[in-house]
Amino acid sequence: MKYAKTIWYILTIIPIILLILGYVYSSSFFSNQEQIRNFVESYGVLAPIAFVIIQILQVVLTPISHYVVGLAGGFIFGTWYGFILNWIGRVIGTLIAFYLGKKFGRKIIKHVVKQETLDKYDKVFEKGKLILFLMYFLPIFPDDELSYLAGFSSMRARGFIPIMLIGHIGGSLGLAFLGSGLSYSNPLFIILSVITLIAGILFVIFYKRHMKNN
């Protein structure tokens, strides 16, 4: 029993320590595209795998900026290849964060939050699935915090996974496109701009409606 408790404390404390170190010594983390490119390209033919691992870490370890990493995907590999690598890394990282939140965070919350408050929290995620999708789709929201928060809730994996699989397409492609070199004459720029604008308007509408009903 004591051994199990020790393991529990270790698994709880380590992520917290990593987050604190990340914010205190933020300069030691990847902070710009050139730094990421130099690191990734040092792996030669394994560069795509190295980049995907960085993309996974930016979700699991929140101090790493997902904007910088996403832009670096396009900067290093170009729009479409960068998009694919961005998407793969973000999806894997999101799944890890979600299941970490589900496995450990949910158990912790149950001991520090009243059941009534927890039920309201769960209700927000159950009724706000479209909002969650738009938050993943738009590149302005941090996917790391969203993934952990979703894991803390009662949302099932079968409901969460389709949302984030499709939702990550927007941010992954948008950041890769910007990182590869923004061109206003490129039809993709117009398409992404229109889709992002529509998604942003929908988010505001549904968010206000959701807040009004809760």
Tokens of 213: 């009903």
Contact 164, 147 (CB under 8 A): yes
- Band (pLDDT 50/70/90 cuts) for residue 27 is very low
Reported as a pLDDT band with limits 50, 70 and 90, residue 13 is: low
Radius of gyration of the chain measured on its C-alpha atoms: 18
Q: Are 143 and 168 in contact (CB under 8 A)?
A: yes
Buried b (16+ CB within 10 A) or exposed e, 35-67: ebbeebeeeeeebbebbbbbbbbbbbbbbbbbe
Which pTM does this prediction carry? 0.72
Whether pLDDT at 200 is above 80: no
Measured between alpha carbons, how far is 51 from 48 in angstroms, rounded to an integer? 5
Say which residue, 162 or 134, is predicted with more confidence.
Answer: 162
Averaged over 46-60, what is the pLDDT?
Answer: 91
Beta-carbon contacts of 124 under 8 Å, excluding residues fewer than 6 positions away, are: 153, 210, 214
**Of 35, 62, 39, 54, which Cα lies nearest the Cα of 147?**
62
